[in-house]
Structure 1
Amino acid sequence: MSSASAPSPFASGVELLAALRSGAITSRALLDLYLERIARFNPQLNAVIHLEVEAARTRADEADAAQARGESWGPLHGLPLTVKESHHIAGWPTTWGDPAFADFRPDATGVAAQRLLDAGAIIFGKTNVPINLLDWQSYNAIHGTTENPWRVGFTPGGSSGGSAAALAAGLTSVELGTDAGGSVRIPSHFCGLFGHRPSIYVVPQAGNERPGITLGNEVATPGPMARSARDLELLLDVLAGPTGPEATAWRLTLPAPRATELTRFRVAILYSAEIAVVDDAYVERLRGLTQKLRDAGVAVDETARPAFDFTEQHHVLIQVLRGASSSRATPAAVEAAEALLRTKAADDLSYVTDAARAMLQSHRTWLGIQERRAAIQRAWAEFFTRYDVLLAPASTTAAFPIDEAGTRDTRTLSVNNRRADYNDQLFWAGLATLPGLPASVAPIGHTRDGLPAGVQIIGPYLEDRTPLAFAAALEDLYGFRVPPGFE
C-alpha cells in the first residue's frame, strides 16, 4: 500500500497497521473511510447499528498525534474497528437485541473489548445480533434485520451476523464476535470470512453480563473475525489470557502450531453426518478442498473419526448448551417445557424435546451429562494424537433466505430439496463447542449458485495456533473475495 494510494477498506488488519506505522495512512483517514462506506452501504445491509463518531474521531486524532511523536499504544495502535453489540462498552447501549434491555447502558467496558482498547484500537461502533444471541440469523425488534452482502434477502448468519456483514462489505477492519453455537463460525462461513472460536476460557467472557447475572457461560467465548487468517492470530494474542483473581498467578502460553506448511499437517475431513445432513452444493466445495489439498501434496484421511457416537455427542451438547442457559428461563417457558415432556416418549431425541429436558434436568442428571462430556473430551484428545486438524462443515448449508416466521424451534431449511430441522446446524458447531476445542473457519470458494462456503478447522484443546496456521495456509489457496457491488 503506497503513500500515493488511498487505503483499501478490504485490506487486512495486518496490512492496515503496517500502513499506519509507516505513515502511509492516518488513523483519522481510515476511520473516515469506514464511516463514508457505512453511510453509503449500511442502509441496505443494516449491519452497523450504533456509532460513536465524534469520540472515535477524537481518539483517531490522538492516535495520529502519538504516532507522530514516535509513541505506540500497542499492537492495534490507531486501528478503527467495530464489535458485536453484546460486548459492553461503558455508556454505550448493550441490548442483546432484547426490548427488555433497550435502555441498558453498562457502567464498565467488558474485558475483551477493553483489551482491544488497551492495545490501541479505536472502537467506533457496534454490529447487529438476533434477540438474546439465539439464532443463525440477525434480526430483532430494536434494530431490525441484517442482510448478507452476497445476496439480497439472504442471512449473513448469527449471532455475529452484523459483524460478518460489516466485514464482508468493507465497513470495518476487523471484528470481535462471540461463539457458543457457531455464532462466529457460521457467519464467517456464510459471508466468506475468517473466524476463530478460541479454546474455552482462553479469552475471558467477563464484563459482558446481563443485569443481575454473575455466572459466566461455560460454552460461550468471545472470538475474532476478519478478512485474513493472520488477523485472527493478531487479535487472539491481544485478547487471550486470564483476568480477575486468576491473573494474580496464572499465565497463558499457547503453544506454537504443530505445522505451518500444508504438507506437514495430518488432516482428517468430514463431509456430512446422518444426524445433520449437509447440502450437496456445500459438500461439493468440501470435496473440492480435499482434491486441492491432495494436489498440493497433503494426505487427507476421509474416514478418520473421533471415537464417540454422533447421536450421543449431540444429545450431550444440547443438555450442556441449553442447560447452561436454563437459569434465564421464564416461569412460562418452564411450564411449557413440562407440558411438552408429558407428551413425549423417553427415546424422543428431537431438538425441541431434548432442549426441554435440558431446561428441567436435575443436578444429578447434569452431573451424569458432565461425565459423558468428559468421555467425549478424552476421545478428542486421543484423536489428536493421530491428527492435527479435523476439517468439517460449519453448518448444514450455505447462507439461506431470511426467514423470520415462527421461531428457531419451528423453522426448517432446504437441504437437498428436502425440509430439514433448522436446528441441525447446531450439530456441526457443537463438535468444537461441547469439548471446548479451538475451531477456525476459512473460505473455500463458492457454491454453484454463487454463495460463499467455508470450512471449519477443529484443533486440539489449547492448541489454537494449529487451526489458525492451517487457515493461514488455506488463505494462500483461496482467500477473501469482495462481494459484487461493494468494491
Structure 2
Amino acid sequence: MRTALQTAAAIRAGETTAIAECDAAIARIEAGNGEINAVVVHDFDRARDAARAIDASPKDDRALLGVPMTVKESFDVAGLVTSWGFPEHADHIATEDAVAVQRLKAAGAVILGKTNVPVGLADLQSNNPIYGRTRNPHNHDRVSGGSSGGSAAALAAGFVPLEFGSDIGGSIRVPAAFCGVWGHKPTFGMLDTDGHYFPRTRGAALNLSVIGPLARDPDDLALALDLTADLPLPKPAARDTSDWRILLLPQHPLAPAAHPIRSAVEAIGAAFAAAGATVAYESDLLPDLVEQHADYMRILAVAMARGQPPRAGPPSTPMPVLLDRQAECRRAWRRLFRDYDAVIAPAWGTTAFAHDDTPIETREAWIDGAPSPFGAQIAYPGLATFPLLPATSVPVGTDPDGLPIGVQVIADRYADHTAIAVARLAHDLTRSR
C-alpha cells in the first residue's frame, strides 16, 4: 500500500487516478472492517464524487491530491453524524466541516468516513452503544486503544494511509502504540480545534486538549501536521545521529511499565549511544513527576467534566493555583530542553490489553503478571500533556505475544518536528538491530 505522499505523486504522474485509489480504499474497508469495526460512519458516495472531480480537473501540486483518508468520529464533517458515542447524540448531524477537515480537503484529501471512539472520548479503548467495539487488527481479543482507537485500527489494517485524531490523555499516542502506527500530539494551541466540539455545543477548546495526525509513515505524519497547523512549525537542522542528546525515562515513578516496554526504551538508548549520541538515564532537571501528575489529574478532571462539577465535588486546588503550577512545570521542562533534544518514555506501561469494560476507577492493568491500578498509567501521557509539549508515538518493536510496542518522543514547545525526527531515528535504529 502506498503512503499518502506516494499516492498523491502517483495520481499527479498519471500512474493511477483518484477514483481508483478511492475505490481501492473502500474495497479494503468493506473487506476487512467487519472484523475490527474501525470505520463506523461511511461517506463513500460523496468520496467517489470528490475523487471523480479531482480526476476531471487539471492535475495540481496539492500535497494530498486524491489521497483517501478517514477522520475520528468526534470531528465535524458536514452531513455526517458527530455523536462522540453518546446515544442521545446519535441524530446530531454536523452542518460544516471542522477546520482541520477543511484544511485536509483543501490539500486534496478525499474523506471516506469516520472512525470509532469511546463514549465521550473518555477511555483507552473504543467501545460505545451506537457503534460497538473496535478490535485491534493484530489481535482481535485486544483493544485498539482510545480515544482515537478507530483511527489507529484503520491505519494498522491498511484501510487508509492517513488519519486524524485528538489527544488529552494519550488519545493519539496510546492507540498508535497499541496498533503499531505513528501518531503525533502537537504543541498545545498550534492546530485549530474548531469543529471538534462536544456534540451540540460550540465552546472553547478544552484546556490540555489538542488535535493531530496519525499515519503509517513518518513523512505523512509530518506533512499532515504542517498542512493543518495554524503557523509554520520550525524544522531541526540536519545533523548526524551522534549530535543528538537524548534523555531516557523507562518508567514513571508512579506507574510501573512492563518489562518489554522498559526494555524497548532501553534498547533505543543503547542504539543511540552506539551511534555516538549523548544518552542519559536520569536528570535533576526533570520536574517533580509525582507533583506534575497530581496537578495534571486535577486539571484533566475539570476538563473532562466539561463545565460541570466533578462527581466528587469541586477540585481541592483552585484553578488559578493549578495554572500557576502548570506554568512552573513548563519552565522546568524548558530548562531541561536546553540540555537535551528529546525525552523518550513509554506511551503506556503495557501493550494492548484485553477488552475490559470495568470502570477505569476500578480497572486493573497487568504488569509482568501482577495487578496494578489502571488509572496510574495515565501518568505516561501526562508527561507531555500537562506541560503542553509535543510528543510523537513511534512503533519500535513487538512484545512476546507479537503485539506492537510504541514509545513516545517528547520535545520542547514548538519543536514538533524535532520529536518526529528523533522518533524516526528511534524507529530506524531499533528496527535495524
Q: TM class by shorter-chain length?
A: over 0.9
1:149-160 correspondence runs (5 A): 149-160=137-148
2:312 aligns with 337
- Deviation readout 1:352-411 (Å, 9 max, x if unpaired): xxxxxxxx137x71111111111110000000000000001101111111111x311121
2:120 aligns with 132
1:241-256 correspondence runs (5 A): 241=230, 252-256=231-235
- For the residue of structure 2 that corresponds to 1:103, the secondary structure is coil
Q: 1:149 to 1:261 in 2, by over 3 A?
A: farther
In the alignment, which of 94, 104, 114 is matched to residue 82 of structure 2?
A: 94
Shift of 1:470: 1.4
2:101 aligns with 113
Alpha-carbon distance in 1 for matches of 2:38, 2:307:
27
| 1:51–1:125 CA contact under 8 A, matched in 2 | yes
- For the residue of structure 2 that corresponds to 1:105, the secondary structure is coil
1:151-230 correspondence runs (5 A): 151-210=139-198, 211-230=200-219
Q: 1:153 to 1:215 in 2, by over 3 A?
A: same
Q: Which runs of 5+ in 1 are unaligned?
A: 1-7, 242-251, 339-359, 481-487
More strand by share: 2
Alpha-carbon distance in 2 for matches of 1:238, 1:467:
17
In the superposition, the TM-score normalised over structure 2's length comes to: 0.96
Q: Which runs of 5+ in 2 are unaligned?
A: none
In the alignment, which of 232, 243, 259 is matched to residue 221 of structure 2?
A: 232
In the alignment, which of 348, 357, 361 is matched to residue 315 of structure 2?
A: 361
Alpha-carbon distance in 1 for matches of 2:171, 2:229:
19
- For the residue of structure 2 that corresponds to 1:325, the secondary structure is helix
Q: 1:384 to 1:259 in 2, by over 3 A?
A: farther
Alpha-carbon distance in 2 for matches of 1:209, 1:223:
15
Q: 1:258 to 1:135 in 2, by over 3 A?
A: farther
Shift of 1:187: 0.6
Alpha-carbon distance in 2 for matches of 1:177, 1:475:
22
| 1:193–1:225 CA contact under 8 A, matched in 2 | yes
The yes-or-no answer on 1:458 pairing with 2:433 is no
- Deviation readout 1:156-192 (Å, 9 max, x if unpaired): 1100000000000101120001011000000111111
The yes-or-no answer on 1:469 pairing with 2:421 is yes
Aligned pair count reads 431
Shift of 1:259: 4.8
Q: 1:36 to 1:212 in 2, by over 3 A?
A: closer
- For the residue of structure 1 that corresponds to 2:395, the secondary structure is strand
- Deviation readout 1:305-342 (Å, 9 max, x if unpaired): 5432111001110111111233344xxx75x414xxxx
1:379 aligns with 332
Shift of 1:461: 0.3
- For the residue of structure 2 that corresponds to 1:476, the secondary structure is helix
Q: 1:90 to 1:389 in 2, by over 3 A?
A: same
Q: Which is greater in Rg?
A: 1
Alpha-carbon distance in 2 for matches of 1:52, 1:161:
19
In the alignment, which of 23, 40, 45 is matched to residue 54 of structure 1?
A: 45
What letter corresponds to residue 157 of structure 2 in structure 1? A
1:142 aligns with 130
1:410-449 correspondence runs (5 A): 410-449=362-401
The yes-or-no answer on 1:30 pairing with 2:56 is no
Alpha-carbon distance in 2 for matches of 1:479, 1:55:
40
**RMSD of aligned residue pairs (Cα, Å):** 1.7
Alpha-carbon distance in 2 for matches of 1:305, 1:138:
38
Alpha-carbon distance in 2 for matches of 1:142, 1:70:
40
Alpha-carbon distance in 2 for matches of 1:33, 1:477:
33
Alpha-carbon distance in 1 for matches of 2:318, 2:238:
41
In the alignment, which of 17, 27, 30 is matched to residue 39 of structure 1?
A: 30
The yes-or-no answer on 1:13 pairing with 2:1 is no
Runs of 4+ in 1 over 6 A off after TM superposition: none
Alpha-carbon distance in 2 for matches of 1:259, 1:290:
20
Alpha-carbon distance in 2 for matches of 1:160, 1:415:
23
Alpha-carbon distance in 1 for matches of 2:286, 2:425:
28
1:263 aligns with 242
Identity %: 37
- For the residue of structure 1 that corresponds to 2:394, the secondary structure is strand
| 1:167–1:175 CA contact under 8 A, matched in 2 | yes
In the alignment, which of 281, 288, 303 is matched to residue 282 of structure 2?
A: 303
- For the residue of structure 1 that corresponds to 2:297, the secondary structure is helix
Mean Cα deviation higher: 77-86 or 410-419:
410-419
- For the residue of structure 2 that corresponds to 1:123, the secondary structure is strand
